[in-house]
Amino acid sequence: MKKHFFKHLAQTSPHPLALEISYANGAYVYDSDKKAYLDFIAGVSANTLGHNHPKISQAIKNQVDDYTHVMVYGEFIQQPQVVLCKLLADNLPDNLETVYLTNSGTEATEGALKLAKRFTGRSEIIAAKNGYHGNTQGAMSVCGAEAQNSAFRPLIPGIRFIEFNNSIDLNKITNKTAAVILETIQGGAGFIEPTNNYLQKVLDKCNKVGALLILDEIQSGIGRTGKLFGFENYNTIPHIIVAGKGLGGGMPIGAFISSFKIMDCLKEHPKLGHITTFGGHPVIAAAANATLKELLSANLIEETLIKETLIRKLLIHPLITEIRGKGLMLAAIVETKEIASKVILKSLDKGLLLFWLLFEGKAIRITPPLTITKDEIFKGCNIIIESLNEVLADY
Ligand SMILES: Cc1ncc(COP(=O)(O)O)c(C=O)c1O
């Protein structure tokens, strides 16, 4: 299997972990030798309720028995899609009431950017340095990591970059700007929270010049930061949000969400302003419905903050300089990227899944399923401390 993996499955990482999976359940993933790994990654913030959650599995099975794909997006009334869009709207502020479902986060970003350009009649987009919004060419154009982007230029023109949390940079938002796109909490950059009312300042500036604020909730959304969506922590209601990852509970999904008025402009001049064959697939929508319903009925969202406190208490070590992030979107920052890599690889050997962040080499990603128990947190954090101690001993 390993030989075929490296030859036939296109590789874009020079050093994939190459763990061969046999099954996964709850907070554990098992390799082909049945070795158990406690999952502190959750498929990179996607497995909101862990693995093989009975309610999600049952919803998928039920929907497969009823129907799978029947028609392209938006032509037929498919109950799982409609229920999902209504459920999202019911749990969002009034102006975030109309949902366009996509297959992935990057497609949601594409849709949101098109929507902002179409609604404002402007083309300039402002994005943040070290921001990450996906890897298709439009989304990549608003990712603020030139080392990645330069090999693929020309990307879409008219993108300007600002520094996240820098209020002076907001002068760059003008009446030429269609939209400002930001992650609510910067992910790849190192789990950086907005400070000093930053998001509200951006929104105020957008409102002043007639631009739209798009907040990327693909990683900070779906309960991970103590609220259903991350922006609720910062009292700022954007014009558009993009969601994905955890919304599908382990199935591929994305969504861009806005007011009925804004979204309505995709219907005319030209008609079919955004189209997809599989976006909103009924089986995926059924999985998302099961995920959201469970999340909203259990105390999992509030508990993320209690779990955060526990992790912060347990992860005190001379090599950890800081724990960044909120809820169960946390990163332990260590002194060097070599230390981060050693801890991630040593922990893997000891049966704990950790991972890197895209642009911050000194970060160790801690984004377990929201269903992680206290005992599992103790166990995982003990492994991290053990790995750190071993690295410190070799220092
Ligand atoms: C903040 C953010 N936006 C967009 C994306 C892209 O989502 P996807 O990989 O589903 O296309 C990601 C994925 O890591 C993300 O973290």
How many A from CA of 103 to the centre of ligand 1? 12
Percent of the residues in the chain that have a pLDDT greater than 90, as a whole number? 99
How many A from CA of 246 to the centre of ligand 1? 11
Whole-number average pLDDT of the chain: 97
209/170 Cα distance (integer angstroms): 11
How many A from CA of 390 to the centre of ligand 1? 33
pLDDT per position as a tens digit, 245-303: 999 999 999 999 999 999 999 999 999 999 999 999 999 999 999 999 999 999 999 99
Using DSSP, state whether 87 is helix, strand or coil: helix
Does pLDDT of 200 surpass 90? Answer: yes
With b for 16 or more beta-carbon neighbours within 10 A and e for fewer, the 295-331 pattern comes to beeeebbebbeebbeebeeebebebbeebbbbbbbbb
Percent of the residues in the chain that have a pLDDT greater than 70, as a whole number? 100
Residue nearest to atom 7 of ligand 1 (CA): 105
CA distances for 42 relative to 97, 243, 272, 356, 365, angstroms: 28, 16, 35, 13, 10
Instruction: Spell out where 292-346 has E strands.
Output: 320-326, 329-334
pLDDT per position as a tens digit, 299-355: 999 999 999 999 999 999 999 999 999 999 999 999 999 999 999 999 999 999 999
Length of the chain: 395
Does pLDDT of 137 surpass 90? Answer: yes
In the predicted model, what is the mean pLDDT of residues 166-185?
A: 98
286/279 Cα distance (integer angstroms): 13
107 contact partners, CB below 8 Å, separation of at least 6: 134, 136, 254, 276, 279
| Tokens standing for residue 158 | 């008219």
In the predicted model, what is the mean pLDDT of residues 130-153?
A: 97
Using DSSP, state whether 68 is helix, strand or coil: coil
What pLDDT was estimated at residue 6? 96
Q: Decide if 369 contacts 354 (C-beta within 8 A).
A: no
Instruction: Spell out where 57-145 has E strands.
Output: 98-102, 124-128
Residue nearest to atom 10 of ligand 1 (CA): 105
Does pLDDT of 240 surpass 90? Answer: yes
How many A from CA of 21 to the centre of ligand 1? 23
What pLDDT was estimated at residue 199? 98
Ligand 1 site: residues with CB under 6 angstroms?
A: 104-106, 109, 132-134, 183, 187, 216, 218-219, 244, 254
Using DSSP, state whether 328 is helix, strand or coil: coil
Does pLDDT of 237 surpass 90? Answer: yes
Instruction: Tell me how crowded residue 143 is: count the other CB atoms within 10 A of its CB.
Output: 27
Nearest Cα residue to 254 out of 230, 278, 225: 278
pLDDT band, residue 395 (cuts 50/70/90) = confident
